[in-house]
């Protein structure tokens, strides 16, 4: 089976130090968390950034500062900035990190409720605009799908030539407003992906590790990290993103999956080297 790519979503835009004191806000904290994940076996860092008080931002210069600082200690890691940002941000605000020409960036493939009164808006025209902006710069989109209808949207845009092969999906499961993280739903989504596509699964909260095991067995890839879940096990806060990655590595080894290095991850995903 293909080696396992582990993505660490170290920070997110919504999770706070109140949920886990190790959630990173400052440059130094982001570097500490990225390095802990990288040292444990993550080859991709999915990155949101914050100001020092924890406020989420898509500011290009803040991304540059944090990406440069992470590359200093994890020189070959793949950094995948978010273009989702936080609910309520404008499209152009969200797109700022692609001006830094990262190897990959997220492309959110549909609109969904996001808890309470929040709506995470990604209209068809927004998806097309983001996709064009990324492909023009040679950036590979990671196709974030939070429900089956978003896979269908990707397939429609692929038929129109807007989304291009090879496609890589991130199946995000368990968001309040998206599909649940039940195994039944994982199998449904995974079976709905087009032949030849690769995928990562990101299970939110208690779904994180059961879905990691499902993807390990199935030949998919895994995302963990504070953005999705702050617990190592029921009631036990993870001390770092690295601890979450270490658990995935242990599970992978139990099931005979080897862990991909960043250069092996680039090969699997068809990325050009930095
Ligand atoms: N923070 C969410 C509203 C992404 O990174 O592309 C969007 C999100 C998805 O996290
Ligand atoms: Zn994200």
Which pLDDT band holds residue 248 (cuts at 50, 70, 90)?
Answer: very high
Nearest CA-CA partner of 152 in 124, 177, 174, 184: 124
pLDDT at 185 over 90: yes
What burial class does residue 102 get, using C-beta atoms within 10 Å of its C-beta: 0-12 exposed, 13-18 middle, 19+ buried? buried
Paired tokens of 106: 């997220």
For 48-60, write each residue's pLDDT tens digit. Answer: 999 999 999 999 9
Cα angle vertex 164, ends 227, 268, to 5°? 60
**Separation of alpha carbons 214 and 237, rounded Å:** 23
Q: Which pLDDT score is estimated for 6?
A: 99
Q: Which atom of ligand 1 approaches the CA of 118 most closely?
A: 3
Pocket test for ligand 1, best of 23, 95, 120, 147 (most atoms within 8 A of CB): 120
The residue contributing the CA closest to ligand 1 atom 8 is: 84
Average pLDDT, the chain: 98
Ligand 1 pocket residue status of 120, Cβ below 6 Å: yes
Within 10 angstroms of residue 157's Cβ, the number of other Cβ atoms is: 19
**Separation of alpha carbons 145 and 128, rounded Å:** 15
User: What string of DSSP letters covers 137-190?
Assistant: TTPEEEEEESSHHHHHHHHHHHHTTSS-SSPEEEEEE--BTB----HHHHHHHH
Compute, in angstroms, the gap from residue 47 CA to the centroid of ligand 2: 7
Q: In this structure, what DSSP letter does residue 270 have?
A: T
Which pLDDT band holds residue 272 (cuts at 50, 70, 90)?
Answer: confident
Q: In this structure, what DSSP letter does residue 205 have?
A: G
For 75-116, write each residue's pLDDT tens digit. Answer: 999 999 999 999 999 999 999 999 999 999 999 999 999 999
Percentage of the chain with pLDDT > 70? 100
Please state the rounded mean pLDDT for residues 244-272.
Answer: 97
Residue with structure tokens 């005979």?
A: 256
Which pLDDT band holds residue 26 (cuts at 50, 70, 90)?
Answer: very high
**113-146 exposure pattern, b = at least 16 Cβ within 10 A, e = fewer:** ebeeeeebbbeeebbeebbebbeeeebbbbbbbb
Q: In this structure, what DSSP letter does residue 2 have?
A: P
Compute, in angstroms, the gap from residue 209 CA to the centroid of ligand 2: 18
Residue with structure tokens 């890691």?
A: 77
Percentage of the chain with pLDDT > 90? 99
For 132-172, write each residue's pLDDT tens digit. Answer: 999 999 999 999 999 999 999 999 999 999 999 999 999 99
pLDDT at 274 over 80: no
User: What string of DSSP letters covers 75-98?
Assistant: TTPEEEE-SS-STT--HHHHHGGG
Q: In this structure, what DSSP letter does residue 166 have?
A: S
Which pLDDT band holds residue 1 (cuts at 50, 70, 90)?
Answer: confident
**Separation of alpha carbons 270 and 110, rounded Å:** 24
CATH superfamily of 6-269: Aldolase class I (3.20.20.70)
Residues with Cβ within 8 Å of 38's Cβ and at least 6 positions away in sequence, in order, are 8, 45, 73, 74, 77
Helices then strands, counting H and E runs in the chain, come out as: 9, 14
| Distance from the Cα of residue 258 to its chain's centroid | 20
Nearest CA-CA partner of 17 in 174, 208, 236, 226: 226
Q: Which atom of ligand 1 approaches the CA of 13 most closely?
A: 1
Per the CB < 8 A criterion, the answer to whether 50 and 59 are in contact is no
């Amino acid at each position: 089976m293909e080696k396992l790519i582990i993505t660490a979503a170290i920070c997110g835009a919504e999770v706070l130090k109140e949920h886990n004191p190790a959630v990173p806000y400052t440059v130094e904290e982001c570097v500490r968390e990225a390095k802990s994940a990288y040292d444990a076996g993550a080859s991709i860092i999915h990155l949101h950034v914050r100001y020092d008080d924890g406020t989420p931002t898509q500011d290009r210069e803040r991304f540059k500062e944090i990406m440069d600082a992470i590359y200093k200690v994890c020189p070959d890691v793949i950094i995948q900035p978010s273009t989702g940002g936080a609910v309520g941000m404008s499209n152009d605000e969200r797109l700022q990190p692609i001006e830094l020409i990262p190897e990959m960036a997220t492309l959110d493939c549909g609109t969904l409720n996001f808890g309470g009164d929040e709506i995470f808006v990604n209209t068809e025209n927004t998806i097309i605009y983001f996709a064009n902006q990324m492909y023009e710069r040679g950036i590979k989109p990671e196709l974030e799908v939070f429900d089956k209808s978003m896979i269908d949207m990707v397939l429609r845009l692929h038929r129109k030539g807007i989304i291009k092969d090879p496609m890589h999906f991130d199946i995000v499961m368990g968001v309040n407003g998206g599909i649940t993280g039940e195994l039944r739903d994982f199998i449904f989504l995974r079976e709905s992906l087009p032949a030849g596509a690769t995928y990562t699964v990101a299970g939110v909260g208690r779904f994180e590790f059961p879905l990691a095991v499902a993807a390990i067995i199935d030949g998919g890839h895994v995302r963990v990290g504070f953005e999705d879940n702050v617990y190592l096990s029921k009631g036990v806060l993870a001390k770092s993103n690295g601890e979450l990655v270490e658990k995935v590595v242990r599970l992978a080894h139990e099931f005979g999956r080897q862990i991909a290095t960043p250069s092996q991850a680039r090969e699997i995903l068809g990325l050009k080297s930095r």
